[in-house]
Structure 1
Amino acid sequence: MLHLNGAVVSGEAASTTKGSDPLLNVKDLKVSFPGSEGEVHIVRGISYEIPRGNTLGIVGESGCGKTMTSLALLGLIAGGGRVGGSIGFGGQDLAKFSQREWQQVRGREIAMIFQEPMTAMNPVMAVGRQIGEVLVKHEKLNKVTAHARAVDLLAQVGIPSPARRAEDYPHQLSGGMRQRAMIAMALACRPKLLIADEPTTALDVTIQAQILDLMLTLQDDAQMSIQFISHNLAVVSEIAHSIMVMYAGKAVEYAPADELFANPLHPYTQGLIQTLPDPEKRAERLYVIPGRVTSDITTGCRFARRCPFAMDVCRQTEPELLKVAPDHKVACHRVQP
């Protein structure tokens, strides 16, 4: 175990690499939308991979492009958005898929736990039926068997009286129960890749631990890969083998989890770690990174305005993401390869 600012960080996931064969290989991924003054770039050319059976944690503040990255993997970029780059998955480039091809992949090969279950679930369909439909479509189960499986899945994610709750509609469940129902739906077909977008945010600590244990169990049983998105480094540390830190649409640091916590190199990563509460140190206020993520910076490092170590070159030239150690990359002028 690592002890980080007083928080206990599990080293088991971080220190274990379950496979070197990448299930997902993303190269130069870009997401942009048309704006009144030209193209608005949300994700600005990120590259990463996730080996089979491994978990990549993606962390960063709201607005840094974490969710858009994941929606691009499922072909769910709407509103005239454009996706560039390649998304290698099982030997195919998902970026070239048609909507018909996407329908065969979503839910079966790749599933997503959405951040807002109330908007992601059908409000006029019972929860058990929604989960069962996934099983009917992708696993060709009859409705009776699919419903029984749905009830079992609700029980696995900690919903009390699952048979009764399966008959409820989303608005009849609490926020935490809706989130758990969404998790049950995503896990129904035991996908090869699970994208989890803030999956434990609405849950109490006990249920958080239960959900993380369930994900890790399925990962072990089925060699499932996970892309785990969060703004909470402490939660990510419990499940991730590698971590990519995003800021303003770019990856600023990418390393194995244990290496990132032991030797954070980018000032933004250091700031995120410093925000973790330390129960052994009393403080009137927790540390906060000054300023906020902005998209109006067109030259230099996007973090320069908030960085306590910024130099002139930081404001003039955007740093590249360069390898500074085996499997450790960072985009910072202060860190030399």
Structure 2
Amino acid sequence: MTALKPLSTTSPALLCEVIRGDFVESLHAGHAVICDAEGQVVRVWGDADVQVFPRSSCKMLQALPLLESGAADAAGLNDEALALACASHNGAHIHTDRVGAWLKDLGMGDDDLRCGPQRPDDREARHEMIRTGASPCQVHNNCSGKHAGFLTLNRHLGGGTEYHEPDHPVQRAVREAFEEETGETSPGYGIDGCSAPNFATSLGGLARAMAKFAAPDESSVRGVAQQRLYEAMVTHPALVAGEGRACTGLMRAAKGRAAVKTGAEGVFVAILPEQGLGVALKVNDGTTRASEAAIAAILVGLGVLEENDPEVQRLANAPLINRRGMTVGSVRAAQALRTGW
């Protein structure tokens, strides 16, 4: 694999700070980019050229061949399935029951997945598993919807069972769509937590891809696919993540005006159709609390969310509460993300 370039060629920007008392206790730096429908960078904090693994933030791109090939329609997939194809879900019953039914409709089962088992993040599902002595299955994996999509595409293409391998027709189709949407040739890939290849790109390229989703050419096959995936996500935000999760909460608060998606190691993206903009950010230390604060503040700055919205306050100005229930500080988006728009 071609070696990745250094994390940044310029200094990262401050994206989030942790306040305790009257002091700044911790700082989270990184990079954030906004691109327009023409693919041009319109605003940047840090370095738009920094190369990143998008991780799960690019699941919408990975789902494009599922629709463009005709596999989704041939399998009769509804919007709920398309939302799950883009999901990093909690493993609640609303997720696993639907993925299980999807696999059954394909004539397949848990053993056909290649994502690996994962203990559910959903508290009720996790406690139920403990009470019953059950073990997690692959369907509980947060990426099981994406993998059900891969299996659906693979059945349509007639490929071999190891659909997750980088040289498999499924992943070749994913890479082609990924590079077309980012406008860049990926320098290589890493293997994600779910065993699928995750292709590297610049942060600006990732934002560019999101902007294309924000302003799709609805006369083209790809544009229709982009629109369908966007609509599925904003219509079913609970399927994309789950209760208490930033993706679900922010999309509910945006009321159809934005689709947002997190990725591991401090990545977040947003699709904003009204403005024709795409957003991508990466926190250098991979901290989720910082990426959530940053994306919430950027959505406020772009006029998609109100600053006093409870979900924005929960993420971008979160109280720091100690074990006695005392508010002792806050986790908040950096000033540069909250002012000067």
- Structure (1/2) with the larger strand percentage: 1
- TM-score normalised by the chain length of structure 2: 0.27
Q: Larger radius of gyration, structure 1 or 2?
A: 1
Q: Which structure shows the bigger proportion of residues in helix conformation?
A: 2
